[in-house]
């Protein structure tokens, strides 16, 4: 594994930078927006072109690795190594001219993330996390913060497209909004994980949102010092097609678990 990661890190950072620059270039142009699926999701020309750039970089360097990508799905034969690619996380923001979008690239070894690269495309900020080596932004180390108190927290909220307006979800979100200073939903999950990792968000609550944008952010948060558990308080490891997660500074995690349990029991 150690022989793969240095090369993988170089390839992923180069690909993320290039894909991010491409999206920035198209931001004020005709984005050729189309609907994707039945849940209101969108795809643009930048999604497609950025994905081609990233996959080309990966396949040239690692032709025997499998890839799961946002727009084109699976490539290759499943084995020890799997790349997850979201070439334009936050497409709905991008489509309406909201400059909150990014690139997310993850490399997993036996279903455990070992490398995560996220490019905040509009701000040209590159976040990198390698398992056991900490988290950084543009080459400088970053870390989560400890909030003065839970009621003063700004907490990120992420939910999957398929969740919709389920009563259980609405009740939980309402309870959380009454428990914290602010609950923030950006529609760009990878960018929210970056905000947690650099200390601008105090915690994250994720409700059934597994996708190609998840695991780079999880690794970044962990390497920046966050604890990540499921809603029952068990440490989250590996992959899960239906994750329910809480992430925060270790000092706050038990109180956050209790608040989520209270919100769920109110339904």
Q: Is 200 annotated as a binding residue?
A: no
Q: Is 38 annotated as a binding residue?
A: no
Q: Is 108 annotated as a binding residue?
A: no
Q: Is 177 annotated as a binding residue?
A: no
Cα 199 off chain centre by:
16
Q: Is 166 annotated as a binding residue?
A: no
* C-alpha triplet 213, 44, 156: angle, nearest 5°: 35
Tell me the C-alpha distance between 24 and 39, whole Å.
Answer: 26
Q: Could you give the residue ranges of the DSSP H alpha helices within 181-234?
A: 189-197, 214-223
Structure token digits, residue 10: 């170089």
Query: Running DSSP on this structure, what letter comes out for residue 64?
Result: T
Structure token digits, residue 48: 């497609």
Beta strands 227-230 and 244-248, pairing class? antiparallel
Q: String of b and e for 50-79 (b: at least 16 CB within 10 Å)?
A: bbbbbbebbeebbeebbbbbbbeeeebeee
**R_g of the chain computed on alpha carbons:** 18
Residue numbers belonging to the annotated binding site: 70, 86, 88-89, 213
Residue numbers belonging to the annotated binding site for Mg(2+): 70, 86, 88-89, 213
């Amino acid at each position: 594994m150690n022989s793969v990661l240095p090369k993988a890190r170089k390839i992923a950072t180069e690909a993320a930078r290039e894909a991010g620059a491409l999206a920035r270039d198209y931001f004020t142009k005709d984005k050729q927006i189309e609907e994707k699926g039945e849940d209101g999701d969108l795809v643009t020309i930048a999604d497609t072109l950025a994905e081609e750039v990233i996959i080309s970089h990966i396949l040239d360097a690692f032709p025997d690795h499998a890839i799961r990508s946002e727009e084109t799905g699976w490539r290759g034969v499943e084995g020890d190594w799997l790349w997850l690619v979201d070439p334009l996380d936050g497409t709905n923001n991008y489509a309406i001219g909201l400059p909150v979008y990014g690139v997310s690239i993850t490399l997993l070894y036996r279903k455990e993330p070992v490398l995560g690269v996220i490019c905040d495309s509009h701000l040209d900020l590159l976040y990198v996390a390698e398992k056991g080596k900490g988290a950084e932004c543009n080459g400088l180390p970053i870390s989560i913060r400890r909030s003065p108190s839970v009621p003063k927290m700004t907490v990120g909220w992420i939910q999957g497209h398929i969740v919709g307006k389920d009563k259980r979800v609405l009740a939980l979100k309402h309870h959380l909004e009454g428990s914290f200073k602010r609950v923030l939903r950006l529609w760009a999950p990878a960018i929210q994980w970056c905000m947690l990792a650099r200390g601008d968000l105090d915690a994250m609550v994720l409700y059934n949102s597994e996708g190609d944008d998840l695991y780079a952010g999880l690794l970044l948060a962990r390497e920046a010092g966050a604890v990540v558990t499921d809603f029952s308080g068990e440490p989250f490891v590996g992959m899960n097609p239906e994750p329910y997660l809480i992430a925060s500074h270790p000092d706050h995690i038990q109180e956050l678990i209790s608040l989520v349990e209270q919100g769920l029991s109110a339904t």
